[in-house]
């Protein structure tokens, strides 16, 4: 089914891959093969070591980082990335683009480029990668199946008043860029936004409730950023645009005894 979706009628193709984190340590063999086989190869990564590795894997590697500059609307930058990828595909070339982490997680350009490439009759596919969420589960030793897990982009969580269950774990992404639609060079884009986030969360958790500010590491020799604190002290942490907030489950909800009895009855009947 995946290959049927990827097929197209025109010469030229697009493959989107992820580099994960830890330089080349989390890139799948399938993604490496796609990088090496590409006629044109583009990349957007977060640090120079991965860039150097990608350039060693493909002699014509082209960085997409120049689409970002101080004050530029982020959507305009994302749109330019899409146009660059599609322009190469329209030339009849096999194009590969690599994004750090998982290429489908918080990467608008990758999804849009694939949708548009397929709409124009080209073959397009995305290969899975290791995301910051995968790293979070490992580094914080969190099992999302134990209590359930909810995941929201932090600004969307606030402006849409997203309903959630405080009895399950809560992941909030990009807490350092709350409400900001333009690109900036500084680490923290909106300190005041944290106050509003704390205000909303405090309606569901006590201020003493434990939370974690997390950032996956990009280097094998460095530890991830793990700042364990309370909701009330969140604003005192060092927060950047790469920071993710993990809110621990408040408590286990009570069992539905009637449903439990029905399930047991069904098991006995079988």
What is the per-residue pLDDT across 132-171, written as a single tens digit (0 to 9) for each? 999 999 999 999 999 999 999 999 999 999 999 999 999 9
**Are 149 and 205 contained in the same domain?**
yes
The residue from 40, 84, 100, 205 that is catalytic is: 100
Tokens read off for 42 = 């583009």
Residue 59 lies in a domain: yes
**Are 122 and 12 contained in the same domain?**
yes
Helices 48-57 & 29-37 angle (0-180, nearest 10): 60
What's the order of all strands across the beta sheet hosting 13-18? 62-63, 40-44, 94-99, 13-18, 123-126
Decide if 205 is catalytic.
no
| pLDDT, mean over the chain | 92
Residue 27 lies in a domain: yes
Residue 2 predicted with pLDDT over 50 = no
**Mean pLDDT of the region 191-208:** 94
Q: Are strands 40-44 and 62-63 parallel, antiparallel or unpaired?
A: parallel
> Can you point out the beta strands (E) in 21-176?
40-44, 62-63, 94-99, 123-126, 149-153, 169-173
The residue from 72, 74, 90, 116 that is catalytic is: 74
Decide if 78 is catalytic.
yes
**Are 40 and 126 contained in the same domain?**
yes
Tokens read off for 138 = 């490992």
Q: With contact defined as beta carbons under 8 Å apart, do 8 and 118 qualify?
A: yes
The residue from 78, 90, 116, 118 that is catalytic is: 78
**Are 182 and 197 contained in the same domain?**
yes
Residue 256 lies in a domain: no
Domain that holds residue 181: 133-247
Task: With cut-offs at 50, 70 and 90, classify the pLDDT of residue 6.
Answer: low
**Are 140 and 126 contained in the same domain?**
no
Residue positions counted in the chain? 270
Residues facing residue 173 across a β-bridge: 153, 244
Integer Cα distance of 166 and 230 in angstroms: 15
| Percent of the chain scoring above 70 in pLDDT | 96
């Amino acid at each position: 089914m995946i290959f049927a979706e990827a097929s197209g009628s025109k010469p030229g193709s697009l493959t989107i891959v992820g580099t994960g984190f830890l330089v080349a340590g989390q890139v799948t063999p399938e993604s490496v093969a796609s990088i090496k086989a590409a006629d044109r190869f583009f990349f957007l990564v977060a640090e120079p070591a991965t860039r150097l590795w990608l350039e060693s894997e493909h002699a014509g590697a082209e960085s997409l980082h120049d689409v970002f500059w101080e004050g530029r609307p982020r959507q305009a930058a994302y749109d330019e990335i899409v146009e660059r990828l599609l322009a190469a595909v329209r030339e009849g070339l096999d194009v590969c683009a690599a994004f750090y982490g998982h290429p489908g997680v918080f990467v608008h350009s990758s999804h849009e480029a694939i949708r548009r490439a397929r709409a124009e009759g080209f073959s397009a596919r995305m290969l899975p990668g290791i995301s910051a969420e995968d790293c979070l589960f490992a580094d914080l030793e969190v099992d999302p199946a134990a209590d359930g897990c909810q995941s929201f982009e932090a600004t969307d969580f606030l402006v849409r008043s997203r309903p959630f269950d405080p009895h399950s774990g809560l992941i909030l992404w990009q807490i350092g860029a709350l409400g900001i639609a333009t690109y900036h060079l500084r680490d923290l884009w909106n300190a005041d936004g944290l106050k509003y986030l704390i205000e909303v969360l405090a309606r569901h958790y006590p201020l003493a409730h434990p939370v974690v500010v997390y950032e996956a590491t990009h280097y094998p020799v460095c530890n991830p950023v793990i700042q364990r604190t309370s909701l009330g002290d969140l604003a005192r942490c060092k927060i950047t645009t790469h920071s993710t907030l993990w809110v621990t489950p408040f408590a286990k909800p009570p069992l539905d005894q009637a449903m439990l009895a029905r399930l047991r009855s069904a098991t006995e009947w079988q």
